[in-house]
Structure 1
Amino acid sequence: MSRGKAASALDLPRPDTLDAGKQQGAYEALRAAILNRQLPAGSRLPSTRSLAERWRVSRGTLETAYERLQEEGYVQRIAGSGTRVCAVIPEHFIAAPRPHHMPRRPVQPDRPYADVQSHVPFVARRPDAGLFDMKAWARCLSRGLLAAGPGALEASHPAGVPELRTQIADYLRRHRGMHCEADEVIVTTGIRHALDLIARTLLNPGDTACVEDPGYPPARRLFELAGAGVQAVPVSADGLDTTQLPDVARLVYVTPAHQAPLGMTLSVSRRLALLDWAARAQAWVVEDDYDSEYNYQSAPLAALKALDSGDRVIYCGSFNKNLFPGLRVGFMVVPKALRRSLLRTLHLTGHSVGASDQLGLVELLGSGAFVRHLRASRQAYLARRDTLLECLGGHGSVTGQQAGLHFVLWLPTGTEEADFCARAASVGLTLQPLGAFCHEARLPPAVIIGYTALTLAQIRYHGRALAALCQ
């Protein structure tokens, strides 16, 4: 490309969003320019000094915006070469209608591993219920019930208590970057309940359902129970390999925030490619926002659903991994075309969430206590992760430790996972082999290490035993 022909952020007018918040406004303006291909892949951004002069903001503000774009995979910054766009935007995504601001709609009442234990080293995917303030929860339950009155216990809301759906939608808008409304939310008992509803509603015998490989075993089993043929799609360093998706499929299940179990984040380019594939195949994308609240190095990417201009993503979340496992409250954000059929399935199965827990969560979310709990637990889990990594002292390679409730410990070449887990069991350690999450994938030997439900004392004691096994 000849000099002067490449798109430049200097060609962009000063965005109005800068007046509301300079760092966020600059980030959103540059991100939008990339997604709209005003700044196409390979184009070079100006220096932060030049753009700061044009947009009349500080250079530090733009440095922060550039760093965030780099962390999220939109741009690449190379010393001596400047900053260039690296996200690949599919043509179909550019042509799709963009989300636009809509006035808030009032919510109308709707009408017609059981063996996994906490505090066992190093069982994965378990939160520490001891970090949750049960006295505060009791007060939330009491206030929620008293505020709602006896009528709330008699009313039937198949999609969930309207006040809770309002709080969930507000949380997702503020913290997961999603454009959603309360009437798009359906309350469930958790991720597996959501997957079961999706499988019962969308899948017919002979349909193809795609899952990550390695991936979350219950998703495969639930899709198979619905009679679907399940296709394993390999995972690479950038997450699900979208080039391996079939031309025809009914749905694909993904864990983009912290891939289960490998722990990588689905890159921006692959997120856009996945949405492009879903639009072309007329398929649904089931997003399990697994571990998104626990990122220890930087702010997490917005949800995949935040990019879903075609309304093809069914977003699934859960409070069970954030508060305590026995809560059994989760939720889905459902495309408009599927809402009626999913509610019909939910009503038929009768598997809805009790009103008292929902009303308690209304108080917990509305008071800000939920976000405060997330901050406190994130700090506690970070300290536990760092302590365990220090105990390992470089014995074995570790990946996926930047976020979530577990990481992957890769074993020496030639190690048999079953033998390693048996030796670990002899010294009181319960490990999950990576092979148990694989269907067709053949990966080097590794085990999944959970640390969040352990005390620091437990981690130090058992961490030394784990390190000794790796020597």
Structure 2
Amino acid sequence: MELHVVINGRKDLAEQLYQQLREAIESGRLAAGAQLPPSRLLAEQLGVSRKTVSDTYTTLTYEGLLIGKTGRGTFVNAHALRAKQLQSATDLACAANLAKWQTLPSPMRHPTRDSTLRYEFIGGATTRSLFPQDEWRRCTQDALRRAAQNSGFYSQPEGLPALRSAIAGHVAFSRGVNCRDDDIVVCNGAQQALDLIARVVLEPGTIVAMEDPGYTPARLLFEAMGASVACVPVDEQGIEVALIPDGTRLIYVTPSHQFPLGMPMSLPRREALLARALELGAIVIEDDYDSDFRYEGRPTHSLQSMDQWGMVAYVGTFSKSLLPELRLGYAVLPPVIHGAVLKAKQLTDQHTSTLAQWALAKFINEGYLLKHIRRCHTVYASRRERILSRLAGDLSPWFDVVPSVAGFHLAALCKVPVNIALLIELARQVEVGLYPLDVFFHQTPVRSGLIIGFGAIETLDIDPSLDKVRTILQQIG
């Protein structure tokens, strides 16, 4: 690596080298984890003795700024903290706003690779081994060839025509969505779609109605924009439409697979929701996050397909059907907000990566996506049945499952008092990742339980991990 060090004269060589390396580490010019040159090479470049460099490395290692790795070299300690702060946050005029953002929780944040447990029941994650690497590689290679032929200009903020056409065909076939290519805006995941719609619809103080329990990142997003979020209870038919308050400007729902409980919204409730939105003049966001996977009953069309007045913005993602890391999602927008959302997208990030867009367009058009969904459906159905069997069997004294027909997570409600926090803590000690349900409740009374994802855990790991959970439940009573 290039390391900028200047030695003046022949006095205090070790001290000069020490001060410059320390300052580089503390200022961040030498980033955490960066490898330093071997002592022999640096000594030759600086015209000093190797002992001078070695002694300096030793001193900085003793102070915790460097770390030696046998057989690999000397690195900046990843845990070393910058000693100097250019300015304290409390000195800034925006200190209060910074504090507000810093205190926001991070619900549903996935663990890093190093902190992932052996058995993970986290929601919203997929199995890496199921991802069709060969097919995706071919699509990516094709995307690289197309990118090489482009002009070098920025692309369209709404997304590549090829991908918008592919998405329109896919959602019309799989979800009955009524749309044209021009109705679609390609986004960096569904979360950006929510952000863009909220930006153009909301003003500080305006009312957003959403399900409670519900998707906490959406609520935090709306609140961060200054909206007043009305958390509306749900029952077995979905959001209780009669409780949506007057003055509501935006309604956020998950009708196909209510998040997090899992039940679908009934047809009468959907009709009532559309009627209420029309009465209020409100935009409805339909977040159809994982309904590619359905296991029971007849398929239900999207809420958007029932919309006769142009009020429903349909939001979808490929994070659940493919991989979360791809960050590819989309919004099917009613004409009344389409132009405004397009301007917001352009101002936010210009456009989503065209390389990923070209690859996904080919992936859909070649039939790889539907093939992959069918393959995953078979695997997820097997995992779901195994978990349901255990929840109806030896885990039934503690939990009741909420009936669900789609997606790849289940909600298990406590039948008896269970210390969920202790259960989760003890489960982590035996490499089982469990996740609480209560973080998704905001104003309605909390119902204790677990959200059990089965996208990331291998089928053969379900029984051994749930055996451990049962043992812990027996121990803690």
TM-score bin (small chain): 0.7 to 0.9
Q: Which amino acid aligns with 1:461?
A: P
| Structure 2 residue corresponding to 1:416, chosen from 415, 419, 440 | 419
**In 2, Cα distance between the equivalents of 1:340 and 1:401?**
36
Structure label with greater radius of gyration: 2
Structure 2 counterpart of 1:181: 180
Cα distance in 1, alignment partners of residues 427 and 444 from structure 2: 24
1:147 deviation in Å?
5.1
Q: Does 1:437 align with 2:436?
A: no
C-alpha deviation, 1:120, in angstroms = 4.2
Q: 2:114 aligned with 1:115, yes or no? A: no
CA contact (8 A) 1:188 1:329 kept: yes
Name the stretch that deviates more: 238-247 or 421-430: 421-430
Contact kept? 1:212, 1:253, Cα under 8 Å:
yes
Amino acid at match of 2:254: T
Asked if the contact 1:256/1:304 (under 8 Å) is kept, the reply is: yes
Q: Match for residue 324 of structure 2?
A: 325
Q: Do the aligned partners of 1:169 and 1:180 also contact (CA within 8 Å) in 2?
A: yes
Helix, strand or coil at the partner of 1:227: coil
- Asked if 1:270 is matched to 2:269, the reply is yes
1:236-284 alpha-carbon deviations (Å, 9 max, x no partner)? 1111111111122110110111111000001111111111111110000
Q: Give, in whole Å, the separation in 1 of the partners of 2:257 and 2:111.
A: 20
Aligned counterparts of 2:151 and 2:325: Cα–Cα separation in 1: 22
CA offset digits 1:154-196 (Å, max 9, x no partner)? 3521000011001111111111112100000000011111111
Residue by residue over 1:258-315, the C-alpha shift from the partner in whole angstroms, topping out at 9 and shown as x without a partner, is 1110000011111111111111100000010022111111343111101011110011
The SS at the match of 1:387 is helix
Shift of 1:418: 2.2
Alignment deviations for residues 84-107 of structure 1 (CA, whole Å, 9 cap, x no partner): xxxxxxxxxxxxxxxxxxxxxxxx
**Conserved in 2, the CA contact under 8 Å of 1:391 and 1:467?**
no
Tell me the amino acid that sits aligned with residue 345 of structure 1.
A
Aligned length: 359
Looking at structure 1, the residues matched to 341 and 429 of structure 2 have their Cα atoms a distance apart, in angstroms, of 47
Following TM superposition, by how much is the alpha carbon of 1:114 offset from its aligned partner in structure 2, in angstroms? 4.0
Matched, 1:459 2:465: no
> Shift of residue 457 of structure 1?
2.4
Q: What is the distance in 1 between the residues matched to 2:282 and 2:150?
A: 40
**In the aligned structure 2, how far is the partner of 1:446 from the partner of 1:464?**
18
Residue 406 (structure 1) shift: 0.9
Structure 1 unmatched ranges of 5 or more: 1-112
Q: Which amino acid aligns with 1:349?
A: T
Other structure's SS at 2:186 match: strand
- The 8 Å contact of residues 249 and 283 in structure 1, kept in 2 or not, is answered as yes
Give distance in 2, aligned partners of 1:402 and 1:466: 24
For residues 421 and 442 of structure 1, the distance between their equivalents in structure 2, rounded to whole angstroms, comes to 21
Q: Which amino acid aligns with 2:211?
A: E
Cα–Cα, structure 1 residues 467 and 183, in superposed 2: closer, same or farther, change >3 Å? same
- Amino acid corresponding to residue 413 of structure 1 in structure 2: V
2:260–2:451 Cα contact (<8 Å) kept: yes
1:140 deviates by 1.0
Q: AA paired with 1:193?
A: Q
**Worse overlay, 443-452 or 278-287:** 443-452
8 Å Cα contact 2:124-2:453 kept in structure 1: yes
Whole-Å separation in 1 of the counterparts to 2:109 and 2:418 = 29
Aligned position for 1:6: none
C-alpha distance after superposition, 1:99-137 (max 9, x if no partner)? xxxxxxxxxxxxxx4434676422122111220111110
Contact map agreement 2:215 2:440 (CA 8 A) in 1: yes
Equivalences for 1:279-294 in 2 at 5 Å?
279-294=278-293
The alpha carbon displacement at 1:324 in A equals 1.0
Q: Alpha-carbon deviation of 1:464?
A: 1.2
Counterpart residue type for residue 366 of structure 1: N
The residue matched to 1:210 in structure 2 has which SS? strand
Task: Write the letter of the residue equivalent to 2:236.
Answer: A
Amino acid at match of 1:359: W
Offset of residue 394 of structure 1: 4.6
State the match for 1:67 in structure 2: none
TM-score, structure 1 length as denominator? 0.73
Matched-pair contact (CA < 8 Å) for 2:264–2:404 = no
Aligned residues of 1:413 and 1:445 also touching (Cα < 8 A): no
> Counterpart amino acid of 2:357?
Q
Between the aligned partners of 1:470 and 1:451, the Cα distance in structure 2 is 20
Match of 1:30 in 2: none
Q: What is the deviation of 1:411? A: 2.0
State the Cα distance separating 1:146 from its structure 2 match.
Answer: 3.1
Q: Say if 2:208 and 2:229, in contact at 8 Å, map to a contact too.
A: yes
- Residue 462 of structure 1 aligns with an amino acid whose one-letter code is S
Contact 2:163 2:357 in 1 (8 A): yes
Change (3 A) 1:153 1:441: farther
CA distance change for structure 1 residues 339 and 445 in 2, over 3 Å: closer, same or farther? Answer: same
Q: TM-score, normalised by structure 2?
A: 0.72
- Written as runs of structure 1 = structure 2, the 5 A alignment for 1:338-417 is 338-350=337-349, 352-392=351-391, 393-395=393-395, 396-417=399-420
Across the aligned residues of Structure 1 and Structure 2, the Cα RMSD in angstroms comes to 1.8
What is the identity, as a one-letter code, of the residue corresponding to 1:408? A
